[in-house]
Amino acid sequence: MKQLSKMNLKCLKPKRIIEDIWNDEFKISLFVLIVAFMGINLPTILSGRYFQKEFLNSMLSNANSVVLDILIVLCLTTYLIKKSEKRREIMRLEEEIDNLRGWKSEEASHRIRGYINQLNKLGITKMDLSNCCLRNAHLEKVNLEKSNLVEADCRNAILNDSNLRNSECHSANFSNAEMRNANLEESDCSYAIFDDANLEGSNFHKSNLSNVSFIRASLNAMCTAYGIQAWLYGDETTPVNKQFQSTNFQEAELTASLFDDAHIKGANFRRANLHQAELTEVADGLESADFSDAIMDNKIRDCLTKINSTVNSAT
C-alpha cells in the first residue's frame, strides 16, 4: 500500500503532469479549453447571467460572428496549407529528377517517368530533363511543353500524342521512339537524333530541324510547312520557316509530307520514300540536297533532274 501511495504521489507531481500535457497536442488543447471554461464560462454560469434574455441574445450574436470568422479563417488556412504542400511536393519531385540526372539505367528511367507523371498531375509541364535517361519510358500523352530535353536519352520511348511544344530538344536522342502525332511545334530539335523513330503525323511547325538525323524514320504526313498546317488548323496563311539544312532523311518514310517553303540545303534524302511528297515549292536547297536512290513520283523527278544531278539515279 505504501509503495502504491508513493507511485500515486509521483504521478501527481505538477512538473510531471505539465511535461505529460506538453508532449501531447490533444492534451494541450484540452488543457487550454478547461482553463478557459473555468476562468470565463463557469463564473458566468454561477452568476446566473445565462438565464438573462439580453445576455443570451448577445451570446447568440457573438456565436454567429465567431462561427463565420472561423469558417473564413479555416478556408483560407486550408487553401494556403494545400498550396504550400503542393509547392513542396513539386520541389521534392524536381529534386528527385535532379538527383537522377546523368544516370544511364533502366531504374533511373522508370523513376523519372513516375516523377514526370506526378508533376503533370500537379499541373506542371515545364521540367528540366536535360541529360536525363528516359529509355523505354512509357510517356504516352505526356505534357512537356517548354521543357528542357537537351541531350536527353529517349531511345525506344513511347511518346505518342505527347506535347513537346516549344521545348529544347537540342542533341536529344529519340532513336526508335514511338512519337505518332507528337507535337514538337516551335521546338529546337537541332542536332537531335530520330533514327528509326515513328513520327507519323508529327507536328514540327516552326521547329528548328537543322542537322537532325531521320535515318529510316517514318514521317508520313509530317507537318513541315503551311500546307499540312492548313490541314491541321485550317489556316493557309500561317507563315513558317522550315529549316532542314544538313538534315539527314536517309531511308526515311516521308510519304505525303509537305516541304513547301522549306530550306533543305545540304539535306540527305538518300533512299528516302518521297512518294506524293511536295518538294516543288521548296524555298531553297533543291540543287544541293542528295536524292540518290530516293523514291519519288515521276512529276517531281522530272522537275528535279533539271537542277540536281543526284536525282538521275532515283528509282
Distance CA 77, CA 159 (A): 40
Distance CA 188, CA 197 (A): 18
Closest CA to 163 of 194, 120, 213, 132: 120
The Cα-based distances of 305 to 91, 129, 213, 312 in angstroms read 58, 45, 25, 6
Q: C-alpha angle with apex 164: 159 to 165, nearest 5 degrees?
A: 150
pTM: 0.63
pLDDT of 113: 96
- Mean of pLDDT values over 87-101: 95
Distance CA 214, CA 192 (A): 9
pLDDT of 234: 32
Q: What is the mean pLDDT of the chain?
A: 80
Q: Output the nine-digit C-alpha cell for 183.
A: 507535337
* 242-295 pLDDT tens trace: 567 777 788 877 777 767 677 788 888 888 888 888 777 776 888 889 999 998
Q: Output the nine-digit C-alpha cell for 123.
A: 499541373
Q: Where are the domains of the chain?
A: 1-48
* 30-60 pLDDT tens trace: 777 788 777 777 777 777 776 677 777 777 7
The Cα-based distances of 47 to 41, 50, 199 in angstroms read 10, 8, 84
pLDDT of 42: 73
Produce one character per residue of 181-215: b if its CB has 16 or more CB atoms within 10 Å, e if not. ebbbbbbbbbbbbbbbbbbbbbbbbbbbbbbbbbb
Position 236 pLDDT exceeds 80: no
- Mean of pLDDT values over 114-142: 96
Sequence-distant (≥ 6) Cβ neighbours of residue 24 within 8 angstroms: none
Residue whose grid cell is 533539271: 306
- Mean of pLDDT values over 2-10: 49
Closest CA to 153 of 170, 140, 176, 135: 135
Confidence of residue 112 (pLDDT cuts 50, 70, 90): very high
CB-CB contact of 21 with 31 (8 Å): yes
DSSP 273: E
